[in-house]
Amino acid sequence: MTTADALFAVGDASGASSHKFSSGSHAEGRIAGKAAIKYIIEKGQEPNVDAAQVEKLKAQIYAPFDLYEAHKGETTDPEINTNYIMPRQFLHRLQKLMDEYAGGVSSAFKTSKALLERGMELMVLLKEDSDKMAARDLHELTRIWENVQRMWIAESHIRTMLFREETRWPGYYFRSDTPKMDDENWRCFANCRWDPSTGEWEMMKKDVWNMPGV
């Protein structure tokens, strides 16, 4: 569970290190899933929620269906439309952005402040287009919200790498403008927090706690 109550997170990109791959993600998924069930059982009561807020969220979740239905007849190919993009197209853009600017495989896992800042500029444009994804079925609707979650993780990933002004090795990216480890200033965890009321991000350092004898 994250520092937000009842919010559980898994995935190989969390923590600005992508080398956990499928096995690490699978392990995290099992841990988070079991922890979520334990959390629900121990709570022992249904949460008190605002029905109006639930309906608002449902409308937001299903909006990609409405967008597709409203504009699907305007082109001969439903995947080419000036009013929306398909989830697969959005995912390709996100992957290309992260690969080229955030230390992906095509850049030999290298990046720099200039590349990361350009990546953030492109992320702003991508976030604007995230509201334009359309879904033809439930499978594509699932992919859309997976894309949105990936987009948030990708932004936190870039912000964390910008914040940590060193190359922390062994890791899985190399900052060419700060190529060495800096234990004096950066032997710590780099955490971030997004404030939904202001839209602002807060970056912070957290101490590393060493276990005796390890």
Tens-place pLDDT, residues 68-79: 999 999 999 999
Mean pLDDT value across residues 7-29: 67
**How much is the pLDDT for 12?**
61
Torsion angle of C-alpha atoms 137, 140, 144, 145, degrees rounded to 10: 70
SS3 state at 51: helix
**How much is the pLDDT for 49?**
87
Written as one string, the DSSP assignment of 110-139 is EE-HHHHHHHHHHHHHHHHHGGGB--SSHH
pLDDT, the chain, mean: 90
Mean pLDDT value across residues 184-207: 94
**pTM of the complete model:** 0.84
Q: At residue 11, does pLDDT exceed 90?
A: no
Residue 169 binned pLDDT confidence (cut-offs 50, 70, 90): confident
- Residue-wise pLDDT for 138-168, tens only, equals 999 999 999 999 999 899 999 999 999 999 8
170 versus 118: the higher-pLDDT residue is 118
